[in-house]
Amino acid sequence: MKTVIVTGATSGIGFAVCEALLGAGCRVIGIGRTGERAAEALEKLRRSFPAADCTFYHGDLMLTSDVRRLAAELRRDLDERCGGRLDALVLNAGCVRSWYMTTPEGFEQQFALNHLSGFLLTSELLPHLTAGRGMVLITSSQSHKMMKVNWDDIFFQKRYRPLMAYKQSKLCNMLFARALNDRYADKGIRAYGIDPGLVHTEIGCKNTGGIVNFVWERRKKHGVDPSVPAQIYAGLITRETRPYGLYFGIRGEAPCSRQVTQENADRLFQLSEKLLNIEFGVQKEADTACLS
């Protein structure tokens, strides 16, 4: 039985991925932002899959302290129940913001949740992914093709443009997937960026307002049900052989942005390590690792 961790698992694409994986016979560990939402999602999944192996944890992934706490709980779970092996990590948690908003550590929130949280969680779980020759699937977007990394102002502090910050975070997802493959493919790890397409979810309506909320309320009506893109994730995780591509959508492998180069991937990887004050794959104590 394959063990898969899914972030952003209480609604939308993440919840649908959990359903698809449980239906395929996987053990699923879901991550939600609050205990209440995690409990509700778990109850709903157990009604549909009463015999399935499903567990939920909760934490605010924008906070590095919560990511490290969650990672410690996940490592214990994997050690006790899965022989220390993780078959797949689905980094699906994400957000959209209308205004410049930061985490307590000073990270712009879209960059923090859409990129840094997944970077840190993968780092914390790297030994278990290596043991399981695991996959990392990151929810990206076609919008990554319309962006370059704003290296001189990574958080858009000088002039905050919500859509540009979102597109950049999706490009960062692809660069992170590229960097993982460059560094860890020889250890059996394989990373992919996933384009779910336009999906009918609430991502553009959570903690937003103004033009972002206005546009998304109308745009989401044309999106597909989350169960449609969920099959991309489940298909990659459960297939017999792994493809060597990097970017996958509803129609299979697709070309990604020309910005997804080794140079840009290495630069983002090193910047992310510096921002988080980590050496990737090396675990630190949760109470001493956070930036002041």
Position 99: which residue type? Answer: W
* 3-state helix vs strand vs coil in the chain, percent to 5: 50, 15, 35
Domain ranges of the chain: 3-278
Check: CB of residue 88 under 8 Å from CB of residue 135: yes
pLDDT grade, residue 283 (50/70/90)? Answer: confident
How far is 101 from 108, CA to CA, in rounded Å? 6
Mean pLDDT of the chain: 91
Superfamily (CATH) of domain 3-278: NAD(P)-binding Rossmann-like Domain (3.40.50.720)
User: To the nearest whole percent, how much of the chain has pLDDT over 90?
Assistant: 84
pLDDT grade, residue 223 (50/70/90)? Answer: low
Mean pLDDT (whole number) for 33-48: 97
Whole-prediction pTM value?
0.90
Where in the chain does DSSP place strands (E)?
A: 3-7, 27-32, 54-58, 88-91, 135-139, 190-194, 247-249, 252-253
Annotated active-site residue 166? The verdict is: yes
Q: Token digits for 191? A: 């990373």
Catalytic-labelled residue, pool 57, 100, 160, 166: 166
123-127, 185-189, 255-259, 284-288: least confidently modelled range: 284-288
Segment 244-259, tens digit of pLDDT: 999 999 989 999 999 9
How far is 160 from 17, CA to CA, in rounded Å? 32
Grouping H, G, I as helix, E, B as strand and the rest as coil, residue 175 is: helix
Sheet with 3-7, side-by-side order of all strands: 54-58, 27-32, 3-7, 88-91, 135-139, 190-194, 247-249, 252-253
Segment 183-215, tens digit of pLDDT: 999 999 999 999 998 876 544 434 544 555 545
Which string of b and e fits 153-177 if b means at least 16 CB within 10 Å? ebbbeeebebebbbbbbbbbbbbbb
User: To the nearest whole percent, how much of the chain has pLDDT over 70?
Assistant: 89
